[in-house]
Structure 1
């Protein structure tokens, strides 16, 4: 007996899994009991099936592994119900059993194998076609083996549970890392399409879906951001989304808790659409092709929800930034341009002239600056009113703008004063070039003006022009002051009567 116990101890200590343990125990029981077949079964109570899991056969009796029979017709079930664990007279006990007659069974023994919660896992059985006495010691040995198998089942269940928890924890950590990376990308992103492409690559690592197709919504146009996946289906679904009930779309946009997953009854099981919105409407969508073998778990859905929230916040931020940039550009333009004429104002003029002087200094070119004063403008205002005066200023600005060339600049300096700035080559006669500029401006601005409210003739402005060359004082205010002085000289000359 000590030898048998040692064998049993070695079987338990050396077994790495249920099969190794069970096969060792079956061989041991068979050697001790003298029965031809010893086998372990598993019982599926829901399906009412008993299946042979592992078997040890000898002599002529063979119980095949994998054999399945209806549970209600088995000797195991009848023996357990009767509390008859062993017999050497099967025909006398269960003579009506078709299986027992076919196998010509004479001796039989069975003990239950229980789960940790005492539910039935299966049975540990022995059978023989030869009349064999089954002692109480053999029955006790079978009970002991059944307990060992039960403990192994529980160990493996715990190991599977631990592995499952570890896999879940790893997947959860991976998803947390994904949503962290999604948040980082959204915080740093300057463009929504770039962020969506990067995030699509990250989400593709999740095993709950086979692939994700990103689609950008630009007005009424749909742009595929990546050439993969079922593009035709992606487009169809997104178009279907966009053509759905406007109230439902608006609900998605306004619902801050769940702005997220869209699916209709026909396609929800295969595909989902992650809707990305801003206050302006739907900005983009991710068409998610689900893994057909499994539905996404709660954490995968949370990952999609978190992604949709992050991208929607990014879309809203970029939309706000775009509006702010546009407003800033309007403000910047207004701060640098005259409201009435639309021409650059004094501030713009000073900055532009400073830049032109620096550039001309390095290139050795000339800068021509003409100061223009609208003679008779006060009288025009007094006689016709300020509205007509404003009409005249706008018409004057339009005329002089039409004769500007290349990099010429015309600005409203203030009131009825304008300034021209042009560039010229150091070759040639600068005085002659200056006169040509003055003549061009005066010709464009002199003559009849057909204004919205009246018509009038204008004799032209006073114009003083100077040229600046490398080596002169690089100060815009000084250059303008000199041009202003030249303008007053021209004004005085125009007032002198001609002989």
Structure 2
């Protein structure tokens, strides 16, 4: 094989970022080496019993369409694998009962399996033509080399996808409160950073409802932590029912929850919207809770409304302001004997 040939392969390998990036140039090179007018890569789903053409390179009149899905049983590829005969220049005689080969007018056919490191069959790398063509040693070597390269890249791509999936799961776990399943403090701070940036760009405010569950310690003391945990879960569900599109609810820690979202521009309008948010959510938490066989009447939580202008306050300062507003409401509720 010439230095130019290996140079083209090397360039393809170094620039390929996906199986498609690798395969398309290799199919063109395979066509040049075998002089067969259609080269293509398939994948096989043996559980579903189907074969699909992933990528193809077609010249002259023969066309193997990409995306074509056919039953795996009876295909040329399946027969070649089963019989160990990967090349023939007389398809009509050898496999004359293959309707697809008849329809396409395939005279010469060559294929090799594409396998992963553990031997799993991924698919086949094939070439076909309407004229009788010999398979040279160079053509056979090229087919096997390309099959190995594609198999390695498929495995690499699958590994990257698996790693991305694992990383996504780990990130989701790190952003989730284990007890309630709600976003946690870490996720909240990240999202509030995004909301503050968006509000600054659009001239809006960021609404915050800082929620503290009055009497939660007494629930734990009287009924035990197991009932207290169920209560926290139920609080999360009830608050979720009152969210607007775009609102974020998080368990901030212990018996504290926060709801935040974008609000109108201006301090007066923003503060009114924050109060309306709290007024809408507060009634959701009052009333009876059935918790592990215990019926609990809850008189409600303290809600601290705040509208933050991101040009004047950062996230930490806004949370401190909301926390202070919540404690003011808590004092008022206590004074009223609630």
TM range, smaller chain: 0.7 to 0.9
* Structure 1: tracts of 5 or more residues without a match: 1-171, 246-260
CA drift of 1:371 comes to: 1.1
Q: Which residue of 1 aligns with 2:94?
A: none
Q: TM-score, normalised to structure 1's length? A: 0.55
Equivalent residue for 1:372, pick from 198, 204, 211: 211
Q: 1:333 to 1:455 in 2, by over 3 A?
A: same
Matched, 1:196 2:15: no
- Cα RMSD (Å): 3.2
Equivalent residue for 1:226, pick from 56, 72, 96: 56
Matched, 1:269 2:88: yes
CA drift of 1:242 comes to: 11
Q: Distance in 2 between matches of 1:305 and 1:383?
A: 73
- 2:113 touches 2:124 (CA, 8 Å); kept in 1? yes
Q: Distance in 1 between matches of 2:310 and 2:57?
A: 58
Q: TM-score, normalised to structure 2's length? A: 0.79
Q: 1:469 to 1:265 in 2, by over 3 A?
A: closer
Q: 1:329 to 1:236 in 2, by over 3 A?
A: closer
Q: Which residue of 1 aligns with 2:325?
A: 486
Matched, 1:315 2:315: no
Q: Which residue of 2 aligns with 1:206?
A: 33
Structure 1 runs of 4+ with >6 Å offset? 234-237, 241-245
Tell me the matched-pair count: 309
Q: Distance in 1 between matches of 2:83 and 2:292?
A: 61
Equivalent residue for 1:469, pick from 285, 299, 309: 309
Q: Greater relative contact order (Cα 8 A, min sep 6): structure 1 or 2? A: 2
Matched, 1:388 2:195: no
Computing the radius of gyration from Cα coordinates, the structure with the larger value is 1
Matched, 1:399 2:238: yes
- 2:87 touches 2:135 (CA, 8 Å); kept in 1? no
Q: Distance in 2 between matches of 1:294 and 1:195?
A: 26
- What do residues 326-383 of structure 1 show as CA deviations (whole Å, max 9, x unaligned)? 0000111112221222222112212222222232223221211121111222222233
Q: Distance in 2 between matches of 1:413 and 1:387?
A: 20
- What do residues 428-469 of structure 1 show as CA deviations (whole Å, max 9, x unaligned)? 644432222111111122222234554422222111111112
Q: 1:471 to 1:321 in 2, by over 3 A?
A: closer
Q: Which residue of 1 aligns with 2:297?
A: 457
Q: Which residue of 1 aligns with 2:253?
A: 414
- 1:370 touches 1:466 (CA, 8 Å); kept in 2? yes
Give the alignment of 1:251-400 within 5 angstroms. Answer: 262=81, 264=83, 268-270=87-89, 271-278=109-116, 281-289=120-128, 293-400=132-239
* Structure 2: tracts of 5 or more residues without a match: 90-108
CA drift of 1:293 comes to: 4.2
Q: 1:188 to 1:448 in 2, by over 3 A?
A: farther
Q: 1:242 to 1:405 in 2, by over 3 A?
A: farther
